[in-house]
Amino acid sequence: MFLAEVYRAVSRFRLQLYPGIEEVQSQLRGHYLMAAVSDGQSAWAVPELHAVGLLDYFKPIIVSGNLVYRKPDKRIFEAALVDMKLAPSEVLFIGNDMYRDIFGAHKLGMKTVFFKSNQGEQEEEGVQADYVI
């Protein structure tokens, strides 16, 4: 466990945003509410958002490490909806894991965008995002 914590701490200094993220976030910020819903650990999720300069773009920030459940459990998505005072039909959820993100958000009635990356489950039988980027 100690080595895992050391690796995670050191890797934080190598975090980088995908190209164009800051520009997109800046454009969206003035027009939309944005939340972060993470299956991360509390000790890492917020500091990592801060390290890459994205912390102030999201409110609320829901981290499963603060809860007793993880995505795709509907309660983690509902926590963000309650805080933002939005109905699922008013939300476009973007995620990089076809099961945890897309399946979970879709179950609640959110439109979904699957962000293809080098992380997360890329396919899940019977699950399809509304959009793929």
Domain ranges, ordered by start, for the chain: 34-132
Q: What is the reported pTM?
A: 0.84
Q: Per-residue confidence of the chain (133 residues) as pLDDT tens digits?
A: 544 444 444 444 568 888 888 898 989 988 999 999 999 888 889 999 999 999 999 999 999 999 999 999 999 999 999 999 999 999 999 999 999 999 999 999 999 999 998 888 888 899 999 999 9
Question: What are the tokens at 6?
Answer: 């050391």
34-132 to CATH, choices 3.40.190.10, 3.40.50.1000, 3.30.56.10, 3.30.750.24: 3.40.50.1000
Cα 62 to Cα 68: distance, rounded to the nearest angstrom: 12
Give dist(CA 92, CA 6) in Å, integer.
35
